[in-house]
Amino acid sequence: MPGVGAIIAVASGKGGVGKSTTAVNLALGLRDLGLKVGMLDADIYGPSVPKLLAIKGKPEMLGGTKLRPMDGYGLKVMSIGFLVEEETPMIWRGPMVISALTQMLREVEWGTLDVMVVDMPPGTGDAQLTMAQQVPLKGAVIVSTPQDLALIDARRGIAMFNRVNVPVLGIVENMSYFLCPQCGERSDIFGHGGARHEAERQGVPFLGEVPLHIDIREKSDAGLPVVATAPDGPHAKIYRDIATRVRDGLSAGAAGRAAPKIVIEA
């Protein structure tokens, strides 16, 4: 991708673990580090980036050939969600998905970017594997919740990126613990520390813990991501710290790569 410094994927083995929320706030954290950041919503069947960044309207055609990305809090953004109605299901087979993704990469006027953050679809099926191969990725960030079931899927995600030789930049533990907004007490609803332990086991960096907190949920779903709208709050700081680790991992080129333990047949 000419003009684009690094493309990184935010992925999870499972849906609903907070991948899109993490991707958006990570992108904003990278923006706050002074980087020019793009965001590509590769979740064709469930695009949520337009809503998370409160972007309305459709992208303009530039000179009849390329689309101009939309702007969300200073990020350049492209999503299939801009091009179809919200309630229209994407009833597409794999090859259509791949061609939509290729177009969103190549037929969009991204200009110069330091980093492009790709919100990947959940899972490690054929479409995800093909995408991981088609997009020239510099690295992948894996999002998991702490409980065993999500971690098993995260492990599959790591194995998939190993399979296509994409370095894993690290694991984020989302919904790491619950902070009661009333009393401030903490409870470990999904357990705690599982992702950190998994990162150690796999020999990849651990990027940070994001609590399960109502402010993150409410603001995300209202299109007011915490890093952009509550930059002085504790959650924004957590995401900025994760962004710093991701940037450092990219510039060191020292992303961990676990020895592939699982063989996936092409």
Binding residues (CB under 6 A) for ligand ADP: these are 12, 15-21, 48, 122, 174-175, 210, 212-213, 216-217, 220-221
Based on CB atoms, which residue is closest to ligand ADP, 45 or 114?
A: 45
Based on CB atoms, which residue is closest to ligand ADP, 21 or 162?
A: 21
DSSP codes joined into one string, 187-251: E-BTBSSHHHHHHHHHT--EEEEEEE-HHHHHHHHTT--HHHH-TTSHHHHHHHHHHHHHHHHHH
Based on CB atoms, which residue is closest to ligand ADP, 36 or 219?
A: 219
Min separation Cβ 54 and Mg ion, Å? 16
Q: Any long-range contacts for 85-88 (C-beta under 8 Å, 24+ apart)?
A: none
Min separation Cβ 81 and Mg ion, Å? 11
Based on CB atoms, which residue is closest to ligand ADP, 110 or 190?
A: 190
Identify which of 83, 112, 85 has the alpha carbon closest to the alpha carbon of residue 100.
Answer: 83
Residue 17's binding partner out of Mg ion, ligand ADP, none, with CB under 5 to 8 Å set by partner kind: ligand ADP
Min separation Cβ 265 and ligand ADP, Å? 26
Coil/strand/helix, residue 6: strand
Question: Could you give the CA distance from residue 214 to residue 220 in angstroms, rounded to a whole number?
Answer: 10
Tokens of 43: 């979740």
Question: Could you give the CA distance from residue 26 to residue 45 in angstroms, rounded to a whole number?
Answer: 22
Residue nearest ligand ADP, Cβ-based: 18
Based on CB atoms, which residue is closest to Mg ion, 36 or 150?
A: 150
Min separation Cβ 62 and Mg ion, Å? 28
Min separation Cβ 23 and Mg ion, Å? 8
Identify which of 11, 12, 38 has the alpha carbon closest to the alpha carbon of residue 27.
Answer: 38
| Site of interaction with Mg ion (CB under 5 A) | 19-20, 48
